[in-house]
A and B are shown apart, each in its own frame.
Chain A
Amino acid sequence: MKRNYGRAYAAPEALWLTFFFAAPLAIIVAYSFCKRDLYGGVLPQLSLDAYRSLANPTLIAVAWRTLWVSLAATVITILIALPCGYSIARSGNQAMRLFLIIVPFWTNFIIRVYAWIAILGNEGFVNDVLRAIGLTTDSVQFLYNQGAVILVLVYMYLPYAILPLFSTIDKFDFNLLEAARDLGATRMQALRKILIPNIRGGLVTAVLFTFIPIFGAYAVPLLVGGKDSYMLGNVIADQVTKTRNWPLASSISMGVTVLTGIAAILYAVVSKRSTHHVIEESGIGPVSATAGIPSGGQA
């Protein structure tokens, strides 16, 4: 009789993640229903204050901004990534073209953000060029606004969208496009009606792998955004470290987590329904879109 060693193997990891992942999340849930202690921390009293204060107009404004900045950055990223993935898939030298996409991401996350400060900052490259050709004498403020935040977010997440899109487009049978053309479709019609529906799985993966981390962005708006481009991640951090209103930070965190959860469930449903499981098969999808590029998914 074979003994079941499964529990012995899995118990250490299960304990670790219970202690350092599940328990901290449980504390966040509990704190969101507690009263705020004026000196930081919480009072052990059941209260819905934290959820009531979510209705604060500044907070709602930040939530809307976070949503539309995330949507805008995601849409721009996908619109650039689609033709890019197509170009790689149809290229005779896929390995080289993919390699070039990945190399810039061997740089440290924070340095990639910093590079944009060096380009767009008051003493940065663009201002330097503008002064040299005499277009301006003063510095133009390119940073610390929403445009800069969206630009840098697109920069950070392009490869996450390109890789899964490439891997589905690569599996697509391009004879179908020729057939569509032979049957009288224009090139654009063929792309829109034949290619796009057939790569839906890759599209969904690309959208979620950009949207989810961007929605929880913290470092990018902190470094290249101004006060008027702060996102929910920044509000959570401020509530925890500066204002020390832990119940409010917890209730906002709950909101972000629930939205992320909905997105993840949506992904599971859509990718199950879709006939295209190529992402998982190819190993380019979830595995290397997160593990392949050394950047984890920070924002």
Chain B
Amino acid sequence: MRLRVRAFYRALRATIKGIRPLPPRIADFGAAAEKNNHAKRRKGVALSDFIYGAVIVFLFMPLVVLLVYSFNASKSGSWSGFSLQWYEKLFMGSGELWHAFANSLLIALTSATAATILGTLAAVGTARYSFWFKPYVKSMSFLPMIMPEIIVGVSLLVFFAGIGLKLGLVTVWMAHTTFNLPFVYLLVSARLEAFDPSVVEAARDLGATEGQTLMRVILPITMPGIASGFLTAVTLSLEDFVITFFVSGPGAMTLPLFIYSAIRFGVSPVINALSVVMVAGTVLLVYPARNFLKAYAAH
């Protein structure tokens, strides 16, 4: 009994570790810090630490500038007093923006779901069996990751034109599923490599059918990898600009495309406000979740 409870906790912890938000490995950095044995500090500030500090300023400065300007009363660059009008406009008078946001969410969830199903099955297949097109699956699941996005986008555009498919949300969904697949495949494969395959053999020897083995043994063990694959796919989809730019048609505006059209020719105060809301939203969602999951995983 005791043992089963412990096994359950271990599985739960593994699951939670798996679904921690991006970046997938960040919780491990904590562990790395603990066993870090060469943190012997020299006296004074080293040049490398000074450069690190400068890099942090460099990385954060654009975000700080957006934050400050989002409260600027005037539309043009110069500061002319505090105002919340851009936030008002963002939440009250930007129907098109929120429509694009809804499209982005829809595409992200549906393409991540499709990629997770296809990628997980392929990872299970290549991890357990050998078959004649296995090398093909493996290389096809790797190449889209290193191919420059412009090439993927342009080739899909030409392809869709060739088969006579009208550009719209459906083509965006197909493109996003395609570039999400390799990431799911990679993360699930990594998880499958990490566990003892004799568990699966045991299930088969004890009389489980292939379907039962998949549903009751393989998928539960792989769940952390599947979950992180899904979350990675959602994030990549929400982010994508270049590929979407080529494969979206009229009526298929996603949030990155909307932002692009708004800033094409210069500064847009509503986009400043949107940036702040998005950064704050991500930090508010991700950071507490991360801490919570980390505490839970360490429990």
Contact = CB atoms under 8 A, between A and B. Distances in A.
Contact of A237 (B48, B49, B154, B183): B154
B202 interface: no
A116 B69 CA distance: 13
A5 B210 contact: yes
Interface stretch (A48-56, A196-204, A209-217, A270-278): A209-217
B84 interface: no
A296 B204 CA distance: 39
Given A118-B267, A123-B266, A28 B154 contact: yes
B146 A10 contact: no
Interface in A234-276: 236-237, 240-241, 246, 249-250, 253, 256-257, 260, 264
A293 B78 CA distance: 33
A253 B155 contact: yes
A99 B26 contact: yes
Interface in B240-268: 240-242, 245-246, 255-256, 259-260, 263-264, 266-267
Nearest to A170: B32
A225 interface: no
A115 interface: yes
Given A216-B148, A298-B239, A97 B52 contact: yes
A95 B27 CA distance: 8
Nearest to B42: A90
Interface stretch (B4-12, B88-96, B118-126): B118-126
A258 B145 CA distance: 15
B76 interface: yes
A260 B63 CA distance: 32
Nearest to A125: B65
A283 interface: yes
Interface in B172-218: 174-175, 177-179, 181, 183, 185-187, 190, 204, 210
Chain B interface helix/strand/loop/mixed: helix
B175 A94 contact: no
Interface in B140-180: 140-141, 143-152, 154-159, 161-162, 174-175, 177-179
Contacts of B175: 20
B291 to A, nearest CB: 11
A118 B159 contact: no
A61 interface: no
A223 B263 contact: yes
B51 A87 contact: yes
Contacts of A237: 150, 154, 246
Contact of A4 (B131, B156, B190, B239): B131
A24 interface: yes
A122 B266 contact: yes
A5 B282 contact: no
Interface residues of A, number: 109
A3 B213 CA distance: 13
A101 B58 CA distance: 10
A23 B218 CA distance: 32
B48 A84 contact: yes
Contacts of B210: 3, 5
B239 A99 contact: no
A35 to B, nearest CB: 15
Interface string A80-97: 100110111111111101
A193 to B, nearest CB: 18
Given A6-B131, A27-B162, A108-B255, A99 B151 contact: no
B222 interface: no
Interface in B261-298: 263-264, 266-267, 271-272, 274-275, 278-279, 282-283, 286
Given A14-B122, A260-B148, A123 B134 contact: no
Most buried by A among B26, B56, B119, B158: B158
B215 to A, nearest CB: 13
B220 interface: no
A131 B274 CA distance: 27
B73 interface: no
B1 interface: no
A28 B77 contact: no
Interface of B: 22-26, 28-30, 32-33, 36, 38-41, 46-49, 51-52, 55-56, 58-63, 65-66, 69, 76-79, 118-119, 121-122, 124-126, 128-131, 133-134, 136-137, 140-141, 143-152, 154-159, 161-162, 174-175, 177-179, 181, 183, 185-187, 190, 204, 210, 232, 235-236, 238-242, 245-246, 255-256, 259-260, 263-264, 266-267, 271-272, 274-275, 278-279, 282-283, 286
